[in-house]
Amino acid sequence: MSILGAVAVPHPPLIIPSVGQGREDGIGHTIIAYQKAMQFVSSLKPKTVVIVSPHATAYQDYLHMSSGDMAEGDFSAFGSPDEKVTCRYDMKMVELLEELCAKTHLSAGSYGERVYKLDHGTAIPLYFLNKFYKDYEVVRIGISGLSLGDHYRLGMLVKEASELLDKRVVFIASGDLSHKLKDDGPYGYSAHGPVFDKKIVEIFKNANFLKLLSLSPHLCESAAECGHRSFVMMAGALDRMEVTADFLSYEGPFGVGYAVATFLPSTVNNDRDFVEQYENSIKADIAAKRKQASIYVRLALYTMEYFQKERKNPPLPDFIEKEGQALLANKAGVFVSIKKFHELRGCIGTILPVTDSVAEEIMRNAIEASNSDPRFPPITYDELPYLEVSVDVLSQPQRVDSIDELDAKRYGVIVRAGNKCGLLLPNLEGVDTVNEQIRICRQKGRIGEDETVTLERFEVVRYY
């Protein structure tokens, strides 16, 4: 068997009557839609329910699958400890998924469980499902900081595992939409919140999962959503299948968006290979941009590729000798920034020059950014065609006495407190105010909010 069907559902705790204590009436349409969705799941009679929850165990660089014989959850964190949900785990499927992940070099498995109890993102869907159907086992998966493509590919492996085991499987994607729909909501209001929700609703109505992969990371972050990666993994489980969508409801009365939809796959449709389409389009776009790239970026790319092949520092390329005399004649601090699928993949630089020329500064920091940024694993050779690279050449930093002398678009900021220092480049997507710049600098430099700081500003010339 392949995937029999899938549902996307939210997980507001107050939807449980013993938690909501009447407040659940405010999302009555969501409750009715939830019941219809779980009746849909029940009609498919799955032996295994794969559920991905953003509140299960999560890691930055690893997709976690829960293990063991069974698990239990309750709603004590929401004032209802007596309301319990239990499930049995399908370890045969978990073990096969681990094997498939290892074969495809996908960073996923069952090591490092941190949330043994069922989280509410898992327990709430199962609470509703159990009203209609109980003859199933569960595979519980968390999300991660890995790329959307990796989440999609794990969904594809769920589909492959169901086929290899000849097992009836339904996929549940648990996730709320934006948490920033109202001023009095849990995270306040952002104009990006309604925009994100509208896009997800349209995607669900048309089962156009390619658009899930194309959503701006800045939009997702600004909307404070929690379901995007769950929905992407669900889309992977429906890869290359014709899908009939039934959009059941959308509500957001409490400042959080709740959407419910069901998806019924039918025939094979190889035109719905969405992750391949998305990544190929990114690759083609980057290849076209590189033909127009500045000499600064060409040098950074040359350095990264040479280092990946030879594992040593490259010689100065001929094109710098011919075209880049200004890069050899001048010295400056340089930052090299790398993005993959529009998300940061590495960024390291120098505030002041530590080499004899801008060219050498670029080469040094290109290697550092692609191999030694502690936030990310080293870049591999296979990633190179998908990487967007920019180079910032810095002016000499200047001390300022007031934030009035700063401008988030024009100036980068250096925040110092004793030996601690945090730096942020200017004109970054999603960083629109000086106060936000300083907050991030304090965070990066591990500088407390009550610590006295000095401020410096600098300008950059950014090359693409």
Nearest to residue 301, comparing CAs of 309, 187, 212?
309
Is pLDDT at 337 greater than 90 in this prediction?
A: yes
DSSP string, 421-457: EEEE-SS-TT--SHHHHHHHHHHHHT--TTS--EEEE
**Band of residue 126 on the pLDDT scale cut at 50, 70, 90:** very high
Residue type, 56: A
Over residues 296-313, the pLDDT tens digits come to 999 999 999 999 999 999
Is pLDDT at 1 greater than 80 in this prediction?
A: no
In eight-state DSSP terms, residue 259 is E
Beta strand extents in 276-386 (DSSP E only) = 334-340, 343-349
Per-residue burial over 263-275, b if 16 or more Cβ lie within 10 Å, else e, is bbbeeeeeebebb
Instruction: Give mean pLDDT, residues 266-271.
Output: 96
Sheet with 420-424: strands ordered across: 398-400, 454-458, 412-417, 420-424
Report H helices in 91-191: 91-103, 120-129, 148-164
Is pLDDT at 186 greater than 90 in this prediction?
A: no
For the chain, report the end-to-end CA distance as a whole number of angstroms. Answer: 48
Over residues 218-238, the pLDDT tens digits come to 999 999 999 999 999 999 999
Nearest to residue 231, comparing CAs of 177, 275, 276, 173?
173
Instruction: Give mean pLDDT, residues 39-48.
Output: 98
Q: Which domains does the chain have, with CATH numbers?
A: 3-273 (3.40.830.10), 293-384 (3.30.700.20), 395-464 (3.30.1490.150)
Beta strand extents in 151-306 (DSSP E only) = 169-174, 241-251, 258-268
| Beta pairing partners, 390 | 337
Q: Are 460 and 426 in contact (CB under 8 A)?
A: yes
- The pLDDT score that the predictor gives to residue 48 is 98
